[in-house]
Chain A
């Protein structure tokens, strides 16, 4: 007890403060603690041990009561509208930070620019002329043919040796 650097002592301390499914309901007998703690052992008397057990149980009960989420009280607890929006923005900001860090933000958020101001004017405008369509078609056909005719001629060795006489 009181020794911050002892790992055994730390274990006991954490279990009490954060009770979980592995928390023993009965703690090791003070006799064992004496063996672990060593120095502080002889101070305990038999009466103190029972008192300590009682106070330990009370502490566990109090900690559990703090840690348990009371569903009924949460439901009746109303969050203000502004508070709710603040939290929503906070959560989405955090989420975006994580997504940006992982490089996946582009996948989840396709980003279109603002674009033009009057869609109905653009869409109602006269359609593209046939000569323009023919120009685009012929140019892209020529480009496709040119790309198909590109041939790579092997001239030199791909592996070059350096410093070898």
Chain B
């Protein structure tokens, strides 16, 4: 299963990963997200909605990464080669909280 994961299974501090087709079918998965089709469907909807929102005035500019932060974990989502890549990681912000 390493080949279709494109290396996102080797991201440090990763809790789990998903590789989906553009219609939400799971191509590859691992960790806490292994075969998690419920999360996969929700993320697919988020991605398709997010792509309808223009980022800048130029329609060729699209999003690079979506971060869904839930308490101390973050779902990082990106699209490459018409596939959706998801990585679930601990949310460890590097900057201290400004007062």
Contacts and interface: CB of A to CB of B under 8 A. Distances in A.
Nearest to B13: A124
Contacts of A126: 94
19 contacts: A111-B22, A112-B47, A112-B79, A113-B79, A114-B82, A115-B81, A116-B64, A119-B6, A119-B79, A120-B8, A122-B76, A122-B78, A123-B11, A123-B78, A126-B94, A127-B76, A129-B94, A130-B95, A131-B98
Contacts of A131: 95, 97-98
B95 A115 contact: no
What's the dominant secondary structure at chain B's contact region?
loop
B36 interface: no
B80 A129 contact: no
A116 B78 contact: yes
Contacts, number: 84
A128 interface: yes
Interface in B77-93: 78-85, 87, 89, 91-93
B14 to A, nearest CB: 8
Contacts of A112: 22, 47-48, 51, 79, 82, 84
A110 B22 contact: yes
